Homo-oligomer: A and B are copies of this chain.
Amino acid sequence: MKELKIFTPATIANVSCGFDVLGLALDTVGDEMTIRKVAEKGVRITKITGQSVPLETQKNVSGVAALALLAEINTDFGFEIEIDKRIKPGSGIGSSAASSAGAVWAINKLLGDPFSTKDLVRFAMEGERLASGVPHADNVAPALFGGFTLVRSYEPLDIINIHTPSELYVTVIHPQIEVKTSDAREILKTTVTLKNAIKQWGNVGGLISGLYTEDYDLIGRSLEDFIVEPIRSILIPAFDLLKLESVKAGALGCGISGSGPSVFALSKGKDTALKVAEAMRIVYDKVGVPYDIHVSKVNKEGIKILESK
């Protein structure tokens, strides 16, 4: 095997109550990447289509992640990366994570799987460090593991793959305004009230419990964020109305995807997720900001091979 073409998914980080720890992978939204073993050592980004991101290895998140992997193994060959970037950078659905995770996942496969998935998370986090200044794992973990993931701890890195009910669908709207992860992080307060923190970890417990027991009502009741959403939602036009109409249309819950501006809703079943998409569309047609809407099952597999040579 010398070449792999892969699908690498968009991801929703935080998932309301799980700020900085929870994430989930999408199925119908993601980048396509081709990774090729070549004689020349090192990593080169040879082609980027779809979006404008840097070609220079050291400035490209997939390049940096790939170099982090190759720093831990001796090879007498190198890799070329082609990216068909379908996730818009800055959309809040893990654009940089998809590229970082995809690169290291495919290189690991081409090398015969010398690294564990947890190692791959570690390498891909270097791409995240380049993208936002913070080597967070809440997008790269679900991209690499699939389904819902929990980053229990960073020191040491401890990623838990959470059971994902089969009927869980995501509707995500991307209002085409720019919210930089670094800006979205800066407006957060560095302290929170103990009272709100307790509510938040009560909901994290409820959400995880609901996922394992496939209790969709409990999942819905737990999709509340007392800490981050009240602050960040002011950056997203018509956020409150999106949430209200999504829940009216049958969504279990609705919140900010990552640091925004995308907004996600979880639903039981595809029909409801499509109704939620329609409700979001009606809200945003009035707002007048351009947008994309995606409907996707939660992707239990993560990255997928499209072709191999």
Decide if A19 is an interface residue (CB 8 Å cutoff). yes
A4 CB to closest chain B CB (Å) equals: 31
Tell me how far the C-beta of A98 lies from the nearest C-beta in chain B, rounded to whole angstroms.
23
Interface contact A21-B205, CB-CB below 8 Å: yes
Asked whether, in the complex, the Cβ of A150 is within 8 Å of the Cβ of B209, the reply is yes
Give complex CA distance A222, B160 in Å.
Answer: 11
Q: Give Cα A227–Cα B191 distance, bound, in whole angstroms.
A: 12
By a CB distance below 8 angstroms, the chain B residues around A20 are: 198, 202
* This chain: copies in complex: 2
Residues of chain B within 8 A of A175, CB atoms compared: none
Closest CB in chain B relative to A179 CB, distance in Å: 19
Cα A142 to Cα B197 in complex, Å, equals: 22
**A153 touches which of B151, B209, B221, B227 (Cβ 8 Å):** B221
Nearest CB in chain B to that of A153: its residue: B202
Option from B151, B189, B199, B205 in Cβ contact (under 8 Å) with A22: B205
Please name the residue on chain B nearest to A228 by beta carbon: B194
Q: Is A208 an interface residue (CB 8 A)?
A: yes
Closest B residue, CB atoms, query A189? B194
Give CA–CA (A193, B197) in the complex, Å: 10
Q: Please tell me if A17 contacts chain B, counting CB pairs below 8 Å.
A: yes
In the assembled complex, the Cα of A189 lies from the Cα of B195 at a distance in Å of 10
Interface size of A by CB at 8 A reads: 40
* Pair A158/B206 contact, Cβ less than 8 Å: yes
Taking the nearest CB of chain B, how far is it from the CB of A207, in angstroms? Answer: 8
- Check B201 against A17 for contact (C-beta < 8 Å): yes
- Which residues of B have CB within 8 Å of A202? 20-21, 150-153
A18 within 8 A of B: yes
Q: Which residues of A contact B (CB under 8 A)?
A: 17-22, 150-153, 158, 160, 162-163, 188-195, 197-206, 208-209, 212-213, 218, 221-222, 227
What would be 28 A-B contacts, judged by CB atoms less than 8 Å apart?
A17-B201, A18-B201, A20-B202, A21-B202, A21-B205, A150-B206, A150-B209, A152-B203, A152-B222, A153-B202, A153-B203, A160-B205, A160-B206, A160-B209, A162-B209, A189-B194, A191-B191, A191-B194, A194-B227, A197-B201, A204-B205, A205-B205, A205-B208, A208-B208, A208-B212, A209-B212, A212-B212, A212-B213
